[in-house]
Structure 1
């Protein structure tokens, strides 16, 4: 091997070693940089219960809230904060059959209903967005303010859902399901309800226009 070939071989090894070390350093830095992030999660199961709840109607609601809070400072300065909140919710209305009371007459092949529960909101999936937030120098939004606003919005959504046509639809659906299911097995449903329970059920079979959509609410807190 002549001197030129030996020199070229040594230079190639040297350059290869430098490139290899540089690549290893780059990859190790990148790997160690990603390794700095650490996420820990703890899931606690508090209670598991058996339920028999059936969804019979689904509705979508949108509410617009104008929130304003005025705070007087030494009766000289009126410091206020306000925000526009758009709340959307998907509401599921149905029945908790665990609340229903009944007994069975096998001779007559009848399911006798002694008490029928009212339809209720079984689930509510909500989404909130805040717009046009304005705050004063001292009267500023705190975490408790956001919690109170969201709780009020959720309560309003719940009331709107129960005042809408969803309970009537759920009542008609559940009765249709029960009677059809019993008929397929050659059984009958006998509604022997107390008078008060019967009136409650009749109230939910009365038609009401569905009150879903955008509703402007001026919510001002002193």
Structure 2
């Protein structure tokens, strides 16, 4: 009887031990998944917060002389129209980060930025006409205004390209994306842009300005 009781005692101890081991692994694994889910959700929320329109504004002004000449009777008669144009334009350079594509690798704790949308340039010119000269045979028409508008925007595009406006917009973009870098580093995750590991804000800047 004593041996049977002793055997039962050992069987109960073994069963309790097994239950404790299984319970430990079950609850510890659940906690790890919970932490991973929390980290992933936090990172996704941060990306949503970053995903806004980053805008840099500028103002440009220029003066243009517009001329057009109509000739008749084998160029013996000509009628000219001309005007002095004063242009003031507000320009915005923006990045819509809601269109940014990224991938979250939970297993390797890595966020990969796959694509950043191209900048959007919006030009809003205000054109005023001065010293307008025209004739009934060669008046200003809608076609003239369309040509003037195209010429104004083409000139402004050149000015924007030679200005610091795009560079300033890129710097603001880098500043916004660096918030993701700070968060991932603080949580033990990694940030990549395409195939390059981003370890600092300067790495991010070099990749964006390529």
| Structure 1 length-normalised TM | 0.57
On the 8 A contact 2:54/2:173 being kept in 1, the answer is no
Distance 2:159 2:101 in 1: 28
Structure 1, unaligned runs of 5 or more: 1-51, 204-222
Q: Which moved more, 1:157-166 or 1:126-135?
A: 157-166
User: Quick one: which of 172, 192, 209 aligns to 1:202?
Assistant: 209
CA gap of 1:179–1:55, structure 2 versus 1, over 3 A, is closer
**1:199–1:161 CA distance, 2 compared to 1 (3 A):** same
Aligned to 2:7: none
* Distance 1:90-1:53 versus aligned 2 partners, 3 A rule: farther
Q: How does 1:92-171 map to 2 (within 5 A)?
A: 92-121=92-121, 123-171=122-170
| Greater fraction of residues in helix | 2
User: Secondary structure at the residue paired with 1:95?
Assistant: strand
Q: Which residue of 1 aligns with 2:80?
A: 80
SS in 2 for 1:140: coil
What SS does structure 2 have at the residue aligned with 1:89?
Answer: strand
Q: CA deviation at 1:188?
A: 4.6
* TM-fit CA distance, 1:153: 1.4
Residues 66-118 of structure 1, C-alpha deviation per residue, up to 9 Å, x if partnerless?
Answer: 10011111121121100111111111102133543221123444321122333
Q: 2:4 corresponds to which residue? A: none
- Tell me the distance in 2 between the aligned counterparts of 1:153 and 1:193: 41
Alignment gaps of 5+ in structure 2: 1-50, 197-204
- Cα 1:188–1:178 change in 2 (3 A) is farther
TM-score, normalisation: structure 2:
0.60
Give the alignment of 1:17-96 within 5 angstroms. 54-74=53-73, 75-96=75-96
Q: Using the alignment, how far apart are the partners of 1:191 and 1:138 within structure 2?
A: 61
Q: 1:150 to 1:95 in 2, by over 3 A?
A: same
Any runs of at least 4 consecutive aligned residues in structure 1 with deviations exceeding 6 A, and if so which? none
Do the aligned residues in 1 keep the contact of 2:54 with 2:172 (CA within 8 Å)? no
Contact 1:120 1:167 in 2 (8 A): no
Aligned CA-pair RMSD? 2.8
The equivalent of 2:194 in structure 1 is 192
Please give the alpha-carbon distance, in whole angstroms, between the structure 1 residues aligned to 2:151 and 2:207. 27
Specify the SS of the correspondent of 1:144. Answer: helix
Q: Report if the CA contact (8 A) 2:94-2:119 is conserved.
A: yes
Report the number of matched residues.
Answer: 148
